[in-house]
Amino acid sequence: MPDWLPPLLARLVAVALLAFVVAAPDASAAIASPPYVVTVSTSPLPSASPPAAFAGATTSEAQLTTLAFSVELVERAVVHIQTEDNAGSGFVVAGERVITNLHVVQQAELASVWFPNGARRDAVVIARNELLDLAVLLVPRIPASVEPLTLIEDGDPTALGSSATAWGYPFEADVVAAGFSRAPTVSAGIISARRIREGVHYLQTDAAVNPGNSGGPLLDAQGRVIGVTTLVLTPGGRDAEGLNFALDLQAHASEVLALLAVEQPLGEP
């Protein structure tokens, strides 16, 4: 064999081996290419345990059931109140009573109460509290589909940062005049502060509030009424967000219960 042949053969073998390595698929590159690799697991994914009240349901099912149920009930119980000179919101509580702001009915003795289903009832103002800016209306023949809302009375004070929803009829006369049907509006936010003004306790919220929301309920995540929407602060006439205030019902539970206990308008025998 010529002396030059072995080195040539060795070079040819090296070139062939190099070509094979380059052409071979790279396992690590294949694994690192998500568009081309799909992993399917046949094992069920772990999930959080559902609340005790919804044992047997998944967490998402429990949340959807709670949301749909509470929203439907609340919507039926939030009413639009009109007098000869003013309008606002209110909500149904036990005993055929409706709670609203005093500045909604002012000194009127009678008011019209509209329900979301279109039913209208004549109501009598039976109790007032000027300090708390509250009024209670007696509304006979409340529609059977309406269930009274639950007022929060005891327990720990509403926590800052907790969820809250404001219900009512903002600019409802204008909305109806524009051809829309009558319906309560809901806006979501949080409790951003607890404040006191002239001895009255308020919950501050960033849930959207507009003229017409006065007297409507402020609810917590459990659907309990924690406040009555009362005012929006606009310092110096400037637009401001999040300066919306509702009477803190938990702080004034005894006064509110006393108003609800009144059986007939003051001055009647």
Residues 73, 147: Cα–Cα separation, whole Å: 7
Q: Do 152 and 249 meet the contact criterion of CB atoms below 8 Å apart? A: yes
Distance CA 16, CA 8 (A): 13
Buried b (16+ CB within 10 A) or exposed e, 214-229: bbbbbbbeebbbbbbb
Contact 121, 161 (CB under 8 A): no
Cα separation, 132 vs 155, in Å, equals 21
Instruction: Just list the catalytic residues.
Output: 103, 133, 214
Containing H/E element for 75?
Answer: helix 59-77
Rounded distance, CA 148 to CA 43, Å? Answer: 46
For every residue of 12-28, DSSP letters joined together read HHHHHHHHHHHHS--HH
